[in-house]
Amino acid sequence: MLRLGVNIDHVATLRQARYRGRGHGEPDPVAAALAAEDAGAHGITAHLREDRRHILDADVFRLRQSIRTRLNFEMAVVPEILDVALRLGPHACCLVPEKRTEVTTEGGLDVAGSPGPVRDCTRRLVDAGIEVSLFVDPEPAQLDAAAAAGAQFVELHTGAYAEAWHSKHERNVQLERLVVAARHAHGLGLKVNAGHGLNLQNLPLLHLVPHLVELNIGHSIISRAVLVGLHAAVRDFLAALHGYPG
User: Active-site positions?
Assistant: 47, 74, 196
Q: What is the pLDDT of residues 200-233, one digit of tens each?
A: 999 999 999 999 999 999 999 999 999 999 999 9
Cα gap 149→111, rounded to integer Å: 8
Task: With cut-offs at 50, 70 and 90, classify the pLDDT of residue 105.
Answer: low
E strand segments, the chain: 3-7, 43-47, 70-75, 92-95, 131-136, 153-157, 191-195, 212-217
Residue 216 in domain: yes
pLDDT of residue 104 exceeding 90, the answer is no
Range(s) of the domain holding residue 92: 3-177+188-241
Are β-strands 212-217 and 43-47 bridged in parallel, bridged antiparallel, or unpaired? unpaired
Establish if 182 belongs to a structural domain: no
Indicate which CATH number applies to the domain containing 124. Answer: 3.20.20.70
Provide the pLDDT for residue 181. Answer: 98
Helix (H, G, I), strand (E, B) or coil at 217: strand
Lowest-pLDDT range of 14-28, 46-60, 122-136: 14-28
Question: Which of 179, 183, 184, 229 lies closest to 207 in space, CA to CA?
Answer: 179
Number of domains within the chain: 1
In a domain, 60, yes or no: yes
Which H or E element spans position 31?
helix 29-38
